[in-house]
Structure 1
Amino acid sequence: MKRLIFLIISLLFATTFRANAQDLANLVGTIADPSGAVLGGVEITVANADRGFTRTVQSDEGGSFSVMRVPVGTYTITAEKQGFQKLVNTGIVLDPGQTLRVPLQLSVGSVSEKIVVSAEPVHVETETGAISHVVNSTQVAELNLESRNFATLATLVPGAAPAGTGFDPTSVGVLANATISFNGVPGNFNNWEVDSTNNVDQGSGSNSLMTFPSIDSINEFRISTSNYSAEYGKSGGANIEVVTKSGTNKFHGDLFEFVRNDVFDANDWFLNQAGQPREPLKRNDWGFTLGGPVVIPGHYNTERNKTFFFVSEEWRSHREGTVINQVVPSLRERQGDFSECDQASPNFNPAVSANGLCVVPINPSTSAPYANDTVPVDPTAAALLNALIPLPNAGATVYRKAPSLPTDFREDMFKVDHNFNDKLRAFIRFTQDSYKQDFIPTLWSSASYGTVLSKWTSPAISSVLHITQTIRPTLLNEVIVSYSADVNTVHNFTGFDSPANSINKPQGFAMQTIFPGNQSQLKLPGIQFNAGVPFFTAESTGFEFDFVDPQAAIKDNLIWSHGKHTLKTGFFLLDNHINTTTNIGLNTQGFLGFGGGQVSTGNGLADMFTGIIAQYQEYGRVANGQLVGGPGQGRWRQWDFEPYVQDDWRFTQRLTLNFGVRYFWLTPFFDAKKPTNDSIFVPSQYNAGQQAQLDINGNLIPGTGATPLTYGNGLLQCGTGSVPRGCSTSSRGTISPRVGFSWDPFGKGRTAVRGGYALNWDSSNPLHAGAGFNGNPPTTANLNAFNVSGYQSIGPGPLGPVGFSDIPAVRKWPEVEQYSLGIQQELPASTILSVSYVGTLGRHLQQDLDINQVPVGATTQNVPAFVGQNQPGCDNAGNCNVQTALISLVPAEFFAPYRGYTGVVMRAPTGNSNYNSLQADLRHRMTHGLTFEAAYTWSHTLDNIVINGVNDSNLRRWYGTSSLNQAQVLTINWVYELPFFQHSPYRAARYLLSGWQVGGISNFAMGPPNPNLGLPTRTWFDPNVVGQVTPGQLLANNQPGMFGSLRRNPLRGPGRNNWDIAVMRNFKFDSEKVNLQFRLETFNTFNHPQWNGVNTYCADQNPDGGSCAGNGFGEVTSAYPSRIIQLGLKLMF
């Protein structure tokens, strides 16, 4: 970080900068006389009165002029030359990142004479072959968005397919999934920016955003989806560039509040069918914006053209109810008395017995029932029970609670623009999001009693300094220096109806741990019941983390407009850090499993009372082969340097060519902590002669070979010897060519044939997945102890094989090729139609391959542990027919190529994707009060980038219809200011009947593939993932040890037919300078049931395979929300 700060300061003083700032636009054109002859030496002035911006240039001898990097907004162009009338062209709207060509024509006459014309509101794109779309200020401000999440607006364009990515339009904050697939590319390949500042949380795998700008602070934004120019980089997906509002020479702003309440909403379809009430919900969203000039009357900025400010504040308070309805032990059971489960006992209670699910405990020492069906209760077990499982409050064995879970969000944003002079401008912006949310069940666990509560806090900041300098009219420089970070913490606390600190270990709590350092953990271990009781849900106190993701970046470019060429060159430099202290998905507090062990009472709760532990699991750090304990730690670093050159060449008056190249220099994430937590498994350095042997229970036999607690036998420490930091040698230097064209076949600026090609490399998710957040063995370990008798007997026991993630020693970065060819036509009434073929090819995408899978075709293998054990498929000498043994459910670890390990999941860059589509967009910009856009996509996506595949030795079986695929999507959005009674001569009619406005978003889409087929007995040897079907006889469960024959995703889930409609009433005062707007926003307006989840659980219990039938296989299990109503009130001035 110190080096980057020094570099930034040095560059600031050494040179001038420029970057691909997307809050800016370009204006180019040619100027001619009435005969069509071009005119040189024409003085052209471009002015934006609201921003106090003016710039004057002259046309060259070819009649060409360019005004580069001007703030977005509405402009007036004035053209003057002796012997010609003065031309004033008004109402020219510039969108973010746009290069707009404006042809001008001067008439012969006196310069004192003036001709005023109005610009057309829409223009075909004649300057680039890139495909991009602008969500304009009207759409941003007026469209109804559930939860006012700005990211929803990115789904309005062709090529967007959010259904298969987990995109969440209802939430903001770090847990709001912002992944949207564009053109078949994974959603975490997108690059989201705010005022040219990175806004992607890379620590989440680039699935979420750091900040969620308030809708009222956004001016507009551009979504570039295909073959964009070389000035864009960092990602292989779409570039989404948000432009925030700025102050102007007049004060403007708004006050707003939006309200949602369950009393407004329709009930969920399934709750309605069950006769259940709505789930409680209360949401309030309120705030304000204010912008204007910074003025000291009579002293500073009296002309209001120097300094401007803009402030935005937003608060969100969400209270969403959750229903806890769980079976818990009865009061007698909590005392160790299980007589209510015994049909022969006078205390028998059918509600407690639960049709025999509650097993009467048997004393394992005597093989007879305990006296009076009562077992002794260990004080340690009593502490666990009282802290983690609540008392029944609805009958003998039911606990019910409907707590309200709070989510609080606040955003502070300020922005200051300053014009030093007509050649030097700058702005600074600072945004801070504060996010707090409570969760039940706790994150990454299945806890559902409400006795443990997760609290997630996430303050995030985004800041930018943006300087623009005009060296001369044709040469411009810019610099953007940015810093962003989010700080995520998840910690667990005492939940509802529980005494304070009850999940902490009480004084005298007598339980040992495997890792000595974990003995000091304050919280109790988690528990789970596996057998003999009617309650199986786990409750965990662990799974906590502290996570900081700071990013510092600079963007530096130079633009030179020279004749028919606009040349751009520059670079992007990112210093990315991820600092973690975490045990995500693991448990330093420990986790106890009761029931189902070799020794048991038959009842999991009775086992807990008597200290009979079937399995104990604990996670911790390891140092030099010694168990230490404590959570995993990482100090991850990564550099990304991307210089580029771009030439936009006006080859003829009708043809523009785009040529560019970008160079990607990317480093893998590496752990800067010393000694590093990073390790890698290199198969070529694994020696089968040094492999550990397994005993009959699958544990490592001490002294027989290498263990995962020390380096060796293929397990190497990164950053030492021949292994580089980051664990792999990556192809750091990669070339990204870009070409495009735009051809006006008729020379009238109303038709454009456009196309292009771009090769992009993706660095959006470069975290070394081998170590993840926790670190790989041997610096961390997740250890188990089995069949333990007594809580004080827990300790390091037999070490079982461990599994971990891995990356190749030589790594390639994901690659996306983009290409398109289409036509754009201006239609009457300010409407543009675009129709394009758009395709992508993905290469070197991530696949998770288990390289320790039993090889296909394995025949006979000797297993020393099975000598004389009469194992199925094995003779007395331990020689096993692998196929027969697997069919008999013998664990696969005995036959794995790298014995001593379980799954070794190689995150390999071997995936491929292929996307082809027809995309159409019909756009009508605001005229006569109407804004309208319809986006249609007909596409097919194929890939093999399954996160969890099956037959890793035959990757061709993985290839098929992608889980991201939505074959057809039509999205329509509109805003219409109703013209009725606006000019009525009757005041009452104007006040009561005018000012109405309607708008909405309609979405019609085919369903995405439904990839999950659940099997009850052997999910570890699943067939290839398949989609749901209603006729269960079409699918059959494969035999144990056998691969299924069906390819991926042969069937689709339900589609969507959704209408979101809003009605607004505007009350305007003070000559329409003040507007009070009431908004009635509805989502799923017609309350049309739209199915979502489908039961894909194959309920067959036949060990030899059989058809999937029964238990509702193929039936719909969930739906998208029923009608939602959101009320809003805004005062705008």
Structure 2
Amino acid sequence: MRRATARGVGEVLLCGVMIASALPAFAQGVTASIRGEVFDPSGAAVPGAQVTATQMETGLIRATTTNRRGGYVLVSLPIGHYRLEVSAKGFRTFIQEGITLSVNEAASVPIHLQIGSSTQAVEVVGNARLIDTTSTTLGKTVGEREILDLPLNGRNFSQLGLLQPGVVPVTPGLAEAGGSLREGEGYAVNGQRPESNNFLIDGAPNINAVDGGFVLEPPPDAIAQFKVLTSTANAEYGGEAGSTTNIVTRSGSNHVHGTLWEFLRNNKLDASNMSYNSADEYRQNQFGGVLGGPIRKNKMFFFGYYEGLRIRQAETINGIRVPSMLERQGNFSETYGSDGKVDPLLNLCPNPPQCTQPPQPFPNDTLPFIDPTAAKVLQLYPVPNAKDKYGVLDLYNATQILRNNEDQFGLRLDQYFNQQNVLMLRYMYGHSSLFDPLSTNGAGVPGFPVGEEHRPQDVVAQLTHTFSPALLGITRLSFLRYKFFFDEHLNHTSPASLGFQYQPTLAEAAGPPFIQFGGGGYASIGDPITGPRDTIQNSYALSESLTWIHGRHELKFGGDFRRDQINSVFGIASNGFFVFIPFPISNAFASFLVGQPLLFLQGGGNSPTGQGDLSRGLRSSNFAFYGQDTYKVSPRLTFNLGLRYDLTGPYSEIRNRMALFEPGVQSKVMPDAPPGLLYPGDAGVPAGLIPTEKDAFAPRIGLAWDPTGSAKWLITTAYGIFYDPCYNGPGGPLQAPVSAPPYIRTPQLLFPGSLSNPFANGNPFAAPFGSTMTLLTLDPHLRLPYAQDWNFNIQRSFGTDWLFEIDYVGTKGTKLPRLIEDNPSIPRPGQTWADQQNNIDHQRPYCMPNASGNCTYSSIGLISGGANSSYNALEASLRKRFGHGLSMLASYTFSKALDDVSSFNIAGSSSQDVAGDNDLAQNPFDLNAEWGRSLFDARHRFVLSYEWALPFWKQPREWYEYILGNWQVNGITTYMTGTPFTVVDESFNYDAPEITGFSAFRPNLVGNPNNGPKTVAEWFNTSAFRRINLSTTPAGVYGTEGRNVVQGPGFADWDFSAFKDIPLAESKTLQFRAEFFNLFNRVNLGLPNSDISSPTFGQVQQALQPRLIQFALKLLF
């Protein structure tokens, strides 16, 4: 028998390899299974018993027979409700109803037959056992009832992922499980980066290849279940090193069911705090419906949905400085300085940059002329409508309305050809448009709005074929298309009509340039520097899996193929960017009026005018193959053994418009390039810049032991390796304008010719390579990042509905991507930091002076794979399955997350949501000094979610019973300790990136920073820090403060909902809902000011959302 078993397993291994080779795993299973043993009254196994499972919604039937040990397994069952029937000669027929299957669940249903005739039946009603005695994967299912009933602001189901142990929000702003609108999509799971999560819908990829988040977000009413797999998933799961969120959409049934809804939020219902003013207009409406039913009974079913979202939100600007009416005419006789006196208007440098004359005052503090282009641009500036509290400065106040419109719909068809073949077809579409009149990326005044547009859609086809009761295959084909446009410039004023003589480099985004003032506090005007950022993602995926039940082995083999196409346009200052300072005129606005900028910058392409092709066409192909064996050694002991192989192709560009940096090596592809720049086709430079890694084998091993054999206890342990793909996320190496001279350039001119014609003294685009280049490139030895996961788990069930779990969970991230300064300015002996500022570039190792004596290369940002992370946690949960009107989940996590960088974002601290965080090391020569607490290190986190259908007056008779009966209350309560942050010195902000690659220095740590008063006026111990004196401190000596040593404010929140069901007629119910987010209006403080150079250092100046109220009506039929 052993030989036969080994031979059979070998045959399956060969079959699995053949299938994986024929069909190249990013798509994963969304089904469930039922397993168990059949016993006679004495406890002996009953072999050869017929076991049949019938899905109640559709009539689907799956059957098998028990093996010689009385065991049976029914695999790849659609989730839903089942009836199980078991018959054997000499025994009464056993029937059990009420079995509910969840996604990826292996339900355990043991059967005890009674002696008698098969025409006699024993019927019971009960669910499967709570403990899956064969699984070693950690993760919890969120069922349809929780998805529909728990309070969700914005009806974003992904917020419910935060209910599980080990899951924390990305930033404090997302700390509440109920979440803010469209937040909660990103979360960190067991110490892994948020961009490492994997998202699936019906087993098909649903991930944004650019930022790693959800693409499609169907409404809760269209979702049957989803499960977040948090640790040591089986070999069929991969493609990302973090968690896997597996979403299953609802399907139709033999009965017509539907829902209509309208959800309403209004600022008049909300509370206020230091960051939110309930007087500011806010209107939010979500409306839609679902409908499902049969097209042909027991054969074909449909399910469709639609949801719309409309938001109107006031954006207010108060007290921004704009030019006075006199200043607009060039008269500065009433312009006051910080001392409260009139500042004399001086001509500091009549002939910049050569200043040979002493400053000359202007008669009557009035300019003798105004540049014609400045006069036209001035018309875009709003006139003042307010004064400051001293009646001196001219200010502008305004309120604008942000508009956000979203619509989405989907349709699913399920065709049951017969009991062997089932076909599922699904299509989803979404569209959203945002009009933002006061974007944070744009000007500080109205008139320069930006827009966003998202248009996701996908189609999935899945065929399930049953070869035999023990052999089943699933083939899935999907296509995901996502168009998303950010920072669309909506002010299309022609630059030529304003008098500008240079050309925008993106004709479709032509508009006024961005103009910034470096002194006096005047508001900026013009189109944003960034944008447009237009991206179209096409992802094709094909997957195949084969499951074979052979004796005590459940073997699964499969493979996946995914092809990603990303076509993008990334504009940077395509209309130009001017900076004016109090030079050459002693007032920055006066320098603007005479047309004398300090700096001009414009991003462009490979042409003498900069109008080259700024588009990019990125391509990547990924293959994966896996084998998994669930080996039931005995009724009490199961081994899970798996191996996965990922072949992940780096992104290439269709016209090879990318570059690497290798010091001193001359390119043969582009011989005119300076030494160091290499291009695809050069020796050792593949199309994707880095070689394809071919040894990414990911083993998985787990053990599950039922010590009593009653499925009341379970002890498991598991280990696995998980690979991340080549990262291409926010600010990633291929999304941001990675320097690839001469294809993409951002030349800047100091003291350009004039406002109207900054190229009067020479066109920087005329030369294909700039005089001094700043680069961003990849480490040619970059490898795939990976994580090792391990855990030890104990489960104990109580009664029929209670389950307690306690786990130890560990992860270790290795070769994680990070950005480092590869060409830092090296201090010379005796230099101070102040001295080094005057000679930055020439002290770089790769300066390479050119013929003019200038350095060829300045800062070189290198995307390397040298980052690491570590996570250890005690995780516990107590769950009650819904029964007797009550369900709940309590989750607690005690954890420690450490790393040397918590995310990858080349944009630096300006794009970070957490104070003091930056992806760059303070000291590029000592990367180990960055090791510290992770941004998502929430040491303690507790979440309680519950649903309680009140048992009062279910059948009302009196009038008050009609009012007080049929209510249900639900809630999410969250407690979390504060997240860490770093104190920095932003006063040394301009030259620091050029010297060290970091945007701000850290001070010296001289005390305990967390021994503070914990008040709004001073949250942490500000006296624990001492600023570095740049004039006396030797260059190369850094602040002693470590990374993320200060603890931020904690978080506590109660989200609550109550709804009443009002029966209207047979099978029709009207439901009234009231939902409260932050029910008790607790003030959850934001992070304090972490800039030691700021007068508000240590103060908390913002708070998270106050109490928000949402009402809804739903019609269920």
Q: More deviation in 1044-1053 or 371-380?
A: 371-380
Unpaired segments of 5 or more residues in structure 1? 1-10, 295-300, 342-349, 496-500, 688-705, 861-880, 1100-1109
> How has the CA–CA distance of structure 1 residues 751 and 541 changed in structure 2, closer, same or farther, with 3 Å as cutoff?
closer
> How has the CA–CA distance of structure 1 residues 1097 and 18 changed in structure 2, closer, same or farther, with 3 Å as cutoff?
closer
Confirm or deny: 8 A CA contact 1:677 1:771 kept in the other structure.
no
Alignment of 1:360 with 2:355, yes or no, is no
% same residue: 25
Instruction: Tell me the amino acid that sits aligned with residue 332 of structure 1.
Output: L
Q: Counterparts of 2:619 and 2:182 in 1: how far apart (Å)?
A: 23
SS of residue matched to 1:648 = strand
Q: More deviation in 832-841 or 534-543?
A: 534-543
Confirm or deny: 8 A CA contact 1:163 1:966 kept in the other structure.
no
Partner of 2:3: none
Alignment of 1:828 with 2:799, yes or no, is yes
Alignment of 1:219-234 (within 5 A): 219-234=224-239
Alignment of 1:631-646 (within 5 A): 632-646=614-628
Alignment of 1:1030 with 2:1016, yes or no, is no
Alignment of 1:1050 with 2:1032, yes or no, is no
Instruction: Tell me the amino acid that sits aligned with residue 1042 of structure 2.
Output: R
Confirm or deny: 8 A CA contact 2:664 2:675 kept in the other structure.
no
Q: Counterparts of 1:528 and 1:80 in 2: how far apart (Å)?
A: 81
Partner of 1:369: 361
1:982 aligned to which of 925, 940, 954: 954
Confirm or deny: 8 A CA contact 1:468 1:476 kept in the other structure.
yes
SS of residue matched to 1:237 = coil
Instruction: Tell me the amino acid that sits aligned with residue 80 of structure 1.
Output: S
1:950-999 deviations in Å (ceiling 9; x for gaps): 11211210111111211010000000000012245x34344222101100
SS of residue matched to 2:920 = coil
Partner of 1:794: 758
1:127 aligned to which of 125, 134, 155: 134
SS of residue matched to 1:612 = coil
2:557 aligned to which of 569, 573, 582: 569
**By how many angstroms is 1:606 displaced?**
1.3
1:220-276 deviations in Å (ceiling 9; x for gaps): 1111000110010111100000111111000001000100000000012356xxxx6
Partner of 2:591: 607
2:899 aligned to which of 933, 940, 943: 943
> How has the CA–CA distance of structure 1 residues 17 and 141 changed in structure 2, closer, same or farther, with 3 Å as cutoff?
farther
Partner of 2:645: 663
Alignment of 1:926 with 2:882, yes or no, is yes
Q: Counterparts of 2:771 and 2:149 in 1: how far apart (Å)?
A: 60
> How has the CA–CA distance of structure 1 residues 359 and 311 changed in structure 2, closer, same or farther, with 3 Å as cutoff?
farther
Count of residues paired in the alignment? 1027
Confirm or deny: 8 A CA contact 1:147 1:169 kept in the other structure.
no
Confirm or deny: 8 A CA contact 1:634 1:773 kept in the other structure.
no
> How has the CA–CA distance of structure 1 residues 832 and 1077 changed in structure 2, closer, same or farther, with 3 Å as cutoff?
same
**By how many angstroms is 1:110 displaced?**
0.7
Partner of 1:151: 158
Instruction: Tell me the amino acid that sits aligned with residue 1087 of structure 1.
Output: N
Confirm or deny: 8 A CA contact 1:168 1:176 kept in the other structure.
no
Alignment of 1:212 with 2:217, yes or no, is yes
1:774-796 deviations in Å (ceiling 9; x for gaps): 34231211111111343355224
Confirm or deny: 8 A CA contact 1:247 1:309 kept in the other structure.
yes
Q: Counterparts of 1:447 and 1:413 in 2: how far apart (Å)?
A: 38
Partner of 1:552: 540
Alignment of 1:889 with 2:837, yes or no, is yes
Alignment of 1:749 with 2:711, yes or no, is yes
Alignment of 1:489-504 (within 5 A): 489-490=485-486, 492-493=488-489, 501=492, 503-504=493-494
**By how many angstroms is 1:711 displaced?**
2.4
1:960 aligned to which of 913, 925, 932: 932
1:736-786 deviations in Å (ceiling 9; x for gaps): 000011110001111100110010001173469445443423121111111
Q: Counterparts of 2:878 and 2:363 in 1: how far apart (Å)?
A: 80
**By how many angstroms is 1:831 displaced?**
0.5
Unpaired segments of 5 or more residues in structure 2? 1-17, 351-356, 388-392, 765-769, 848-855, 903-918, 1011-1018
2:434 aligned to which of 407, 432, 437: 437
Partner of 1:529: 517
Alignment of 1:456 with 2:463, yes or no, is no
Confirm or deny: 8 A CA contact 2:154 2:181 kept in the other structure.
no
1:1039 aligned to which of 997, 1011, 1029: 1029
Alignment of 1:907 with 2:863, yes or no, is yes
Confirm or deny: 8 A CA contact 1:261 1:281 kept in the other structure.
yes
1:1120 aligned to which of 1104, 1109, 1115: 1104
Confirm or deny: 8 A CA contact 1:381 1:608 kept in the other structure.
yes
**By how many angstroms is 1:589 displaced?**
0.9
Q: Counterparts of 1:227 and 1:508 in 2: how far apart (Å)?
A: 61
Confirm or deny: 8 A CA contact 2:177 2:972 kept in the other structure.
no
1:592 aligned to which of 578, 583, 588: 578
> How has the CA–CA distance of structure 1 residues 711 and 116 changed in structure 2, closer, same or farther, with 3 Å as cutoff?
same
Partner of 1:697: none
**By how many angstroms is 1:1075 displaced?**
1.8
Alignment of 1:17-56 (within 5 A): 21-56=28-63
Confirm or deny: 8 A CA contact 1:529 1:594 kept in the other structure.
yes
Partner of 1:418: 415
> How has the CA–CA distance of structure 1 residues 766 and 889 changed in structure 2, closer, same or farther, with 3 Å as cutoff?
closer
Instruction: Tell me the amino acid that sits aligned with residue 263 of structure 1.
Output: K
TM-score, length-scaled by structure 1 = 0.87
**By how many angstroms is 1:485 displaced?**
1.5
**By how many angstroms is 1:729 displaced?**
1.8
Q: Counterparts of 2:229 and 2:1025 in 1: how far apart (Å)?
A: 42
Q: Counterparts of 1:14 and 1:837 in 2: how far apart (Å)?
A: 37
Partner of 1:92: 99
SS of residue matched to 1:193 = strand
Instruction: Tell me the amino acid that sits aligned with residue 921 of structure 2.
Output: G
Q: Counterparts of 1:926 and 1:238 in 2: how far apart (Å)?
A: 26
Partner of 1:867: none
1:450-483 deviations in Å (ceiling 9; x for gaps): 2200011111112210110001110001111011
Q: Counterparts of 2:664 and 2:1089 in 1: how far apart (Å)?
A: 43
> How has the CA–CA distance of structure 1 residues 716 and 58 changed in structure 2, closer, same or farther, with 3 Å as cutoff?
same
Partner of 2:241: 236
1:973 aligned to which of 939, 945, 954: 945
Instruction: Tell me the amino acid that sits aligned with residue 783 of structure 2.
Output: K
SS of residue matched to 1:407 = strand
Instruction: Tell me the amino acid that sits aligned with residue 468 of structure 1.
Output: T
Confirm or deny: 8 A CA contact 1:757 1:818 kept in the other structure.
yes
SS of residue matched to 2:334 = helix
1:424-459 deviations in Å (ceiling 9; x for gaps): 00111111110111224446x352202200011111
Confirm or deny: 8 A CA contact 1:679 1:717 kept in the other structure.
yes
Partner of 2:313: 320
Q: Counterparts of 2:888 and 2:610 in 1: how far apart (Å)?
A: 63
Q: More deviation in 639-648 or 357-366?
A: 357-366
Confirm or deny: 8 A CA contact 2:802 2:878 kept in the other structure.
yes
Q: More deviation in 60-69 or 992-1001?
A: 60-69
Instruction: Tell me the amino acid that sits aligned with residue 369 of structure 1.
Output: P
Q: Counterparts of 1:18 and 1:669 in 2: how far apart (Å)?
A: 18
Instruction: Tell me the amino acid that sits aligned with residue 271 of structure 2.
Output: A
**By how many angstroms is 1:853 displaced?**
1.2
Instruction: Tell me the amino acid that sits aligned with residue 893 of structure 2.
Output: T
Q: Counterparts of 1:59 and 1:479 in 2: how far apart (Å)?
A: 27
Q: Counterparts of 1:162 and 1:530 in 2: how far apart (Å)?
A: 37
Partner of 1:291: 292
Q: Counterparts of 1:220 and 1:538 in 2: how far apart (Å)?
A: 48
> How has the CA–CA distance of structure 1 residues 637 and 166 changed in structure 2, closer, same or farther, with 3 Å as cutoff?
farther
> How has the CA–CA distance of structure 1 residues 566 and 831 changed in structure 2, closer, same or farther, with 3 Å as cutoff?
same
Q: Counterparts of 1:336 and 1:552 in 2: how far apart (Å)?
A: 60
Over the aligned positions, Cα root-mean-square deviation in angstroms equals 2.8
Q: More deviation in 739-748 or 322-331?
A: 322-331
Confirm or deny: 8 A CA contact 1:173 1:209 kept in the other structure.
no
TM-score, length-scaled by structure 2 = 0.88
Partner of 1:703: none
Confirm or deny: 8 A CA contact 2:346 2:362 kept in the other structure.
yes
Q: Counterparts of 2:626 and 2:652 in 1: how far apart (Å)?
A: 26
Alignment of 1:713 with 2:675, yes or no, is yes
> How has the CA–CA distance of structure 1 residues 720 and 797 changed in structure 2, closer, same or farther, with 3 Å as cutoff?
same
